[in-house]
């Protein structure tokens, strides 16, 4: 859209007319030489006096209008773009193993579907932070790097599928992978903000190379706080034993959170998961509001350049007239 930075400069537009209207013409000053024989000369032999033509006046008016248009600084504003801010770096590590497809949440929704909805809303509220997404199963991999483009991270989370990273659960490798990504990002961007990992799983560590507790100790050395979330319906006694999410290793998740200075949360349904993310939002508030800017393209060189170009024939015309 068009934007005028200095609109008050338009007040200068009638300035030449006001000067010609109210300021008297310059009068000759100094002594005059009296020539008595001039009265006897033929009028045709005297130098002719000419007033400026209409074309010359129109040219001067056009030059002045162009100068005023340049003075108001016309600009073209582009679409708003987010400005990367120096808030927290927040990584979401989401378990996508086979058990995350279990439909034991409210409304027969799978665990992953609930995580996608609630975690997506949480990401959208982290304006000012850099958010990344790690998916892990048998092995971890980076789905979205750390970025301030929260909308894209949310889309990647929504597109996640069960089993895309394997059917088992490698919690320790997921933490180690997060440490590596944050370390690389620190060396690359020299980021000095807080770093947080939210690890969400519904099972126990049954794959990978690195033990979860050893990975937690490495995270603590890197000053990485880890908030662990256990997902799935709460185990209930039944006729044939226990039901619900009996595979969840809560003791390990609690130790990981304790070692790194985070907290462990239990989410048995969508409502409790929503409360977990609200609690994390309180513990780790967004460090800064997201800032936006609109690219500006200056247009004043065009009328200014045209005015300078037209001033050349105006000067030549003025000399010829004089």
Residues 283-302, mean pLDDT to the nearest whole number? 73
For the chain, which residues make up each domain, given as ranges?
A: 1-17+52-79+294-322, 84-290
Distance CA 140, CA 174 (A): 5
pLDDT digits (tens, 9 = 90+) for 19-77: 888 887 666 665 556 556 555 555 555 555 556 678 888 888 898 899 999 998 888 88
**CA nearest neighbour of 171 among 233, 57, 257:** 257
Distance CA 217, CA 175 (A): 10
Considering only residues 49 and 7, tell me which one the structure prediction assigns the higher pLDDT.
Answer: 7
Res 240 pLDDT > 60: no
Whole-number pLDDT of residue 238: 42
Looking only at the bridges linking them, the beta strands covering 241-242 and 237-238 are antiparallel
Distance CA 303, CA 70 (A): 6
For the chain, how big is the Rg over CA atoms in Å?
Answer: 37
pLDDT digits (tens, 9 = 90+) for 158-181: 988 888 888 888 999 999 999 998
Whole-number pLDDT of residue 172: 92
Provide CB contacts within 8 A for 207, sequence distance 6+.
137, 138, 139, 166, 168, 169, 170, 173
> What's the pTM value of the predicted model, to 2 decimals?
0.60
Res 236 pLDDT > 50: no
The fold of 84-290 is: Rossmann fold (3.40.50)
Res 218 pLDDT > 90: yes
pLDDT digits (tens, 9 = 90+) for 84-114: 555 678 899 999 888 888 887 766 778 888 8
How many other C-beta atoms lie within 10 A of the C-beta of residue 59? Answer: 18
Res 217 pLDDT > 90: yes
Distance CA 55, CA 318 (A): 12
């Amino acid at each position: 859209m068009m934007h005028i930075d200095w609109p008050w400069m338009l007040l200068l537009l009638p300035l030449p007319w006001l000067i010609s209207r109210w300021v008297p013409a310059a009068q000759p000053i100094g002594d005059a030489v009296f020539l008595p024989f001039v009265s006897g000369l033929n009028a045709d032999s005297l130098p002719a006096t000419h007033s400026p033509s209409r074309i010359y006046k129109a040219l001067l008016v056009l030059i002045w209008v162009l100068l005023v248009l340049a003075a108001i600084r016309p600009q073209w504003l582009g679409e708003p773009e987010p400005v990367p801010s120096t808030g927290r770096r927040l990584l979401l590590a989401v378990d996508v193993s086979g058990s995350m497809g279990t439909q034991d949440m409210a409304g027969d929704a799978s665990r992953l579907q609930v995580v996608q909805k609630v975690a997506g809303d949480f990401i959208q509220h982290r304006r000012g932070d850099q958010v990344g997404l790690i998916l892990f199963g048998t092995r971890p991999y980076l789905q979205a790097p750390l970025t301030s483009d929260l909308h894209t991270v949310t889309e990647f989370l929504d597109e996640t599928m069960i089993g895309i990273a394997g059917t088992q659960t490698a919690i320790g490798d997921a933490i180690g992978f997060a440490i590596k990504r944050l370390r690389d990002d620190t060396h690359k961007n020299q980021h000095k903000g807080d770093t947080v990992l939210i690890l969400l799983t519904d099972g126990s560590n049954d794959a990978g190379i690195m033990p979860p507790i050893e990975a937690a100790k490495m995270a603590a050395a890197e000053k990485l706080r880890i908030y662990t979330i256990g997902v799935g319906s709460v185990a209930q006694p039944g006729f044939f034993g226990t039901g619900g999410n009996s595979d969840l290793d809560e003791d390990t998740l609690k130790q990981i959170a304790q070692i790194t200075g985070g907290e462990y949360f239990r989410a048995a349904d969508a409502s409790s998961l929503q409360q977990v993310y609200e609690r994390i939002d309180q513990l780790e508030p967004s460090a800064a509001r997201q800032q936006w800017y609109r690219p500006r393209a200056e247009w004043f060189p065009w009328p200014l350049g045209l005015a300078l170009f037209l001033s050349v024939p105006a000067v030549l015309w003025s000399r010829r007239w004089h």
